[in-house]
Structure 1
Amino acid sequence: MGKVIILNLLRFFVVILLQVILFKNIGYYNIASTFPYIFFILLLPIGLPNIMLFTLAFLTGLTVDAFYDSVGVHAAACVSLSLFRTFFHKITLDVEIKDSFNTPSLGEMGTKWFLPYVFFGTLVHHFTLFIVETFSFTNFLYTLASIILSSIFTVCVVFLMSLLVYKRKSRINSI
């Protein structure tokens, strides 16, 4: 349990530093930008209680909001991502896996489960982020283009990050 906490704290600091130092300055003509800090929320353990999940997501969003000088936009998007995450886990995972404290990573869950998880989670996060940020339907096509292009960009970066930390599923033989 202590190892999981230390690993997630380390993951939090690394992903937030990458977001603030590197990815904050990368974008495509103010239309597409990447937000790979959501990788932290997506990789939180499966059996984490919902109140802890929502609290960690809110604090992650507030941390990013502090560096982006936004007023809770990222916090709202992270909370909506954690809501999606609980719903997705509820409809796609078995009861035994839901009660475990495994990390829903590429190596543990496989690409067939992990790619839709990351794609739809990113789409929910970005939809909430950009709709709350603009809070208007005047430039809806521009906002929609930002949502789609930023989602594609973020999914690619998150998938590359998950390949970097890829660890094969441990197979324990019961004798």
Structure 2
Amino acid sequence: MNFRNLISFILLILILGLFQILFLKNLALFGIAFCFVYLVGILSIPLQIRAVPLLLISFGIGLIIDVFYDTLGLNAAAATFLAFLRPYWLKILRPNGGYDDSTQPTLQEMGIGWFISYSLPLIFAFCLIFFIADQWGTGTFIGVVNKSLFSSIFTLVLAIIVQLLFFKRRRGI
């Protein structure tokens, strides 16, 4: 990752985090669908990053969100779990020729089908861990799965909208 990409990635994380904190903190569709748009930043980290920096970045982003949400580490734990699963899921989705070194896992680079198959299971795993920890002992299993499913879909839709509006299309060589 060169210096320009690093600066743009940091700006992306800051903007998504601020948007999450300022606008999406109290947003819940029908009381069950929450949005975690800051996950777009974690999901769009370049493919060649190693596991430990990915885990640390995800933990840090989740912890910052936790500070503003007063959720006592729920976002940090779920984001770290997402970062833990990401390399394994990318191996499952790897094309026959492998990934380019410059490939970023974004909608514009990989296409809508690949992006949905990449991000939806990871977002669902994040939401499942988040809501299991959030409602431990007080919620039903069906309620947790319901919130996880609808929050995953809501987050994915907003992630696609954010990428269509704000991510640049990569120029071919």
Corresponding residue number in structure 1 for 2:115: 114
Structure 2 residue aligned with 1:41: 42
List 4+ stretches of structure 1 deviating above 4 A: none
The offset of 1:139, in angstroms, is 2.0
Matched, 1:32 2:33: yes
The yes-or-no answer on 1:135 pairing with 2:151 is no
Q: CA RMSD in A?
A: 1.7
In structure 1, the residue matched to 2:158 is: 157
Shift of 1:138: 4.7
Unaligned 5+ residue runs, structure 2?
Answer: none
Q: Per-residue CA shift, 1:13-61, capped at 9, x if unaligned?
A: 0000000000112113432211111000000011011111000000011
Q: Following the alignment from structure 2 to structure 1, what is the Cα–Cα distance between the partners of residues 144 and 92? A: 30
Shift of 1:102: 2.8
TM-score, with normalisation over the residues of structure 1?
0.90
| 2: CA distance, partners of 1:153 / 1:163 | 16
Deviates more, 1:138-147 or 1:50-59: 138-147
Instruction: Give the AA of the match of 2:77.
Output: A
Shift of 1:169: 3.7
Structure 1 counterpart of 2:33, one-letter code: A
- Residue of structure 2 in register with 1:9 after alignment: 10
Which region of structure 1 is more displaced relative to structure 2, 106-115 or 138-147?
A: 138-147
TM-score, structure 2 length as denominator? 0.91
| Aligned-pair identity (%) | 29
* Corresponding residue number in structure 2 for 1:80: 81
| Amino acid in the other structure paired with 2:52 | I
Report the equivalent of 1:20.
21
Contact 2:124–2:152 under 8 Å retained in 1 = yes
Q: How far off its partner does 1:141 sit?
A: 2.0
1:68 corresponds to which letter in structure 2?
Y
**Contact between 2:127 and 2:152, CA under 8 Å: does it hold in 1?**
yes
Partner of 2:60: 59
Contact 2:90/2:118 (8 A) holds in 1: no
* 1:39-88 Cα deviation digits (max 9, x unpaired): 00000011011111000000011011001101111011001111221111
Whole-Å Cα distance in 2 between the matches of residues 2 and 135 of structure 1?
A: 42
